[in-house]
Amino acid sequence: MLEVVELTKHFKNNKAVNGVNLYLEKGETVGLLGPNGAGKSTTISMISSLVKPSSGDIRLRNESIIKTPEKMRKILGVVPQEIALYMELSARENLELFGKIYKIPSKELKNRIDEVLEIIGLKDRQKELVKTYSGGMQRRLNIGVALLHEPELIIMDEPTVGIDPQSRNYILETVKRLNTEKNMTVLYTSHYMEEVEFLCDRIYIMDHGKVIASGEKEEIKSILSAEQTIAIKVEMLKGEFVESLKILPNIRNISIKEPIVSIIVPKKINILKDLFKVAEESNTNIISVNIETPSLEDVFLHLTGRQLRN
Amino acid sequence: MLRQIIKKDLLLFWRRPRELILLLLMPFILISILGTALSSINDGKTPEINIKLAIVQKDDAEEGISAVIEKLDKMGLAEERKSAAIEGMNQFNPIQILLNDVLNSEELKDSIKVEIYENEMSSKEEQKYSGTLEIPENFSAQFYQHAFLGSNNAPQLLLKLNESSPLEASVLKDILASFQEELTLWSAVHSIGINGEELQKKISQEIEDIRKIESVSKKNTINNVSYYAIGMSVMFIFYVASKVATFSYEQKESGIFGRLLLANVPAHIFFSGIFISTFILAFIQMNILYGLSAIFYDVTWPNLLNYFVITILMCIMISGFAVFLSSICYRVNSDHASQLFSNFLVPVLAFLGGSYIPVSQLGASFENISKFSPGGAGTSAYFKAMQGYSLEDILTQMITILAITVILVICAVFIQPKRGESV
């Protein structure tokens, strides 16, 4: 359905996106992962025709849309990272405004608005001003506006940033439902690996403006198939302990989410003995040790040397 | 599409009470405070002019003409030249022109009451008048002889002014001095053989000009509240432009502008929406402010059509400012331009335009600069309209306002970011 070929964007001397290739098949949900500044938003802006690429092509059903963005815009819904809503208008007024701008006939628009309000769960509070909504409700309406004209392809740029877990789950379920029930094609970017794992069939990992890995979830995880993740939960984390871990041989990566220190090591290496020795030397009490298959987050760390949320 | 965008802009403004207070309540409070508190020290009222003029008529024009004809006969001039002189005398009677065309003109007759005496007046009697004009014996004869025979000096009218009423005396002096100058010029030029008909036309024009100059005193006066109603309204109309520009930039910052573009709303439609909604907001603001001023302070316009024409032009110019500022904000990705305009430029434009104090008090060169500034053109147009001038008299200000608008819109078009320039 959509193909992006060698997409590049320069801003003065800065290459924000550097030769990105990706594709989306009809009805699939694709994840675009990357830390801040990886070039995800610029890529999305180019795909959605808001920003003109410096070079490369974007093809919709084998037809370039660089010079005719209207074709793309007709079938596209975009959920921006920002809350792109009029705060002084109610949910219904926002939807009515965008519906009329999309030239949806009045009769149809009313039903469409009711349906969208139902999907995003704001029917009861449709007449209240958006500025009185919680962050989660605003995010839901942000999605609702993008759904109004029933797009075939929806691009979501970190749609769950800064909201409570309940609203986040609601949004994820909604996206899943749209994909399965309405066969909507979704390009989803996120900082949250678990969201991408939950929603996406395929994943692109971006860093420094380039796609550094792509494929189905399992394919990507298999990048670390010869590795294992050891999650060490400690009573109190000490710098000395971490420093000693770093100089142990065979440790690929260390990530810390206090009080858990995760290390990636080759499966064939038994590192537990050294691990306990280091803990003893640094007076660190280990509460538990879990040996896990590497997650996408571990793959990301392995590929970029950075964590997704930093 | 455009209608939706305008409707949305108006609704957003309506739901921001802070902005409404700034744009409506604040100027009205300032009009009230400045208009009433400063009225004692800066009252724009000019006193009524009531001139009483006594004319002591010692001259007999007919006698004068006969005397000159007699002299012409004695001189044995050619018949053609003699007839031309007689015709000239019959057509141009200086005293009748003074009495009928100048002092009894539409513009002056309500301000000047003329009483004619044939005999000399006593000093006590003279005190009752703003001035006494003596038309000396043989005035006409001397005037025509000077004009047609080139003899003697041009005769003089004798004016005595009553210094106890200086304003009236001064106005009277100016009117009669101008008249005397024209007469002297006419007779002098005629005496050296310049075409009399042409000159007469010129003299009539000069007399007309004298009337025009003096008719200024008959224009409506602008009191203090009216002055500040105009001054503050013109100042605060600029804030509409800055507020709209800030709002429009908020739409870019929050991603709404991108969302509108994705809904296939062309950028020029978006900016046209800004132009039209600014126009509507400014128009409503102006009418509310002048409406309230009319209700509470009796600030009225002699000709409503003129008021509306100027208001519409002002609103168009403000719309130009709004689009221009929005374009800068979009270009530089910041609303600093609109803040700078609001915090620094609006007060400067207001000062330059005479919103705080009359620019005439700041010197002629300042007045000239003011005339061509956005605020100055606006205030000056409103002041003139309130004084009762016609649109023709306000043409310079109207052209200035339109020219500024055109420049702003052209600049805005060039400044607006094109697709692909920013995320």
What was the pLDDT predicted at B213? 44
Model confidence band, residue A252 (pLDDT cutoffs 50, 70, 90): confident
Report the pLDDT value the prediction gives residue B422, as an integer from 0 to 100: 45
Is omega for the bond preceding A259 within 30 degrees of 0, making it cis?
yes
Chain-centroid distance, C-alpha B260: 46
Longest dimension (CA), chain B: 101
Number of A/B CB contacts below 8 angstroms equals 73
Does the CB of B2 have a partner CB in chain A at under 8 Å? no
- Letter for the amino acid at A90? S
Q: What phi, psi does A256 have (nearest 5°)?
A: -125, 125
Both tokens assigned to B271: 């900016």
Question: CA-to-CA distance for B375 and B133, rounded, in angstroms?
Answer: 46
Tell me the residues of chain A between 93 and 152 that have a Cβ less than 8 Å away from chain B.
93, 97-98, 100-103, 129, 145, 149
Q: Give the amino acid at B52.
A: K
Q: B78 or A186: whose pLDDT is higher?
A: A186
Pairwise CA distance, residues A176 & B230, whole Å: 61
Between the alpha carbon of residue A223 and those of residues A212, A299, A308, B313, the distances in Å are 12, 7, 17, 69
| 3 state SS of B152 | coil
- Residue B230 has a pLDDT of 93
Contact B259 A45 (CB under 8 A): no
CB A265 within 8 A of CB A302: no
Q: What is the pLDDT along chain B (423 residues), one digit of tens a residue?
A: 788 888 888 888 888 888 888 888 888 988 888 887 766 545 545 556 788 889 998 888 888 888 888 887 887 777 777 787 788 787 788 888 888 888 888 778 888 888 888 888 888 888 888 888 888 888 888 888 877 777 767 788 888 888 777 677 778 888 888 888 877 777 766 666 555 555 566 556 655 555 544 444 456 677 888 899 999 999 999 999 999 999 999 999 998 999 998 888 888 899 999 999 999 999 999 999 999 999 998 888 999 999 999 999 999 999 999 999 999 999 988 888 888 998 999 999 999 988 888 887 777 788 888 888 999 999 999 998 998 888 988 999 999 999 999 999 999 999 887 755 443
Question: Residue B219 has what pLDDT?
Answer: 62
Amino acid at B150: G
User: Which pLDDT belongs to residue B17?
Assistant: 83
Q: Do the chains contact at B255 and A101, CB–CB below 8 Å?
A: no
Structural domains of chain A, ranges and CATH numbers in brackets: 2-220 (3.40.50.300), 225-304 (3.30.70.100)
- What is the average pLDDT score of chain A? 87
Q: Give the minimum alpha-carbon distance from A233 to chain B in angstroms, rounded to a whole number.
A: 41
Answer whether A81 touches B (CB < 8 Å): yes
B204 touches chain A (CB under 8 A): no
- Rounded to 5 degrees, φ, ψ at B227 are -60, -50
Statement: the pTM of the whole predicted model exceeds 0.80? no
The pLDDT of residue A92 is: 95
State the smallest CA–CA distance between residue A106 and chain B in angstroms: 13
Say what the pLDDT of residue B216 is: 43
Kindly give, in sequence order, each residue whose CB lies less than 8 Å from that of residue B216, ignoring residues fewer than 6 positions away.
none
Kindly list the residues from chain A whose CB atom is less than 8 angstroms away from the CB atom of residue B264.
70, 73-74
Residue A249 burial (C-beta neighbours within 10 Å; 0-12, 13-18, 19+)? exposed
